[in-house]
């Protein structure tokens, strides 16, 4: 939603759009991508969802275990991001190619 809120006003302009019009929307997409990647890779949470009351016994803490699945997903995500950077670099930096 935050991506759309920032992207649409600049898209409606009747003039040329520059890279700085898209960067805040891209930043929002990158933050959301990190949250989605964390959600995909982990099956547990690192902290309790609510605070313990005075009469509630403490529960053991659970820590996220990424394992092999997390490393594979992060590796694929990194290769995909790097390949998209290489593909879009001539357009972004204004170099012929």
Q: pLDDT of 34-44, one tens digit each?
A: 888 877 777 66
Give the pLDDT confidence score for residue 54 in this predicted structure.
81
What is Dmax (Cα atoms) for the chain? 68
Structural domain boundaries of the chain?
A: 22-43+63-91
Helices H / strands E in the chain, number of each: 3, 0
Report the distance separating Cα 72 and Cα 66, nearest Å: 10
Buried-state track 21-47, b at ≥16 Cβ within 10 A, e below 16 = eeeebeebeeeeeeeeeeeebbeeeee
**Local mean pLDDT, 10-residue blocks, the chain (97 residues):** 73 68 77 82 64 75 72 88 90 78
């Amino acid at each position: 939603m935050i991506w759309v809120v920032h992207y649409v006003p600049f898209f409606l302009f009747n003039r040329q759009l520059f890279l700085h019009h898209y960067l805040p929307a891209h930043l929002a997409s990158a933050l959301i991508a990190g949250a989605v990647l964390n959600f995909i890779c982990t099956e547990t949470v690192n902290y309790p969802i609510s605070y313990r009351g005075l009469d509630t016994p403490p529960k053991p803490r659970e820590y996220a275990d990424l394992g092999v699945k997390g490393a594979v997903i992060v590796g694929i995500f990194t290769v995909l991001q790097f390949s998209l950077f290489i593909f879009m670099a001539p357009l972004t930096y204004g170099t012929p190619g």
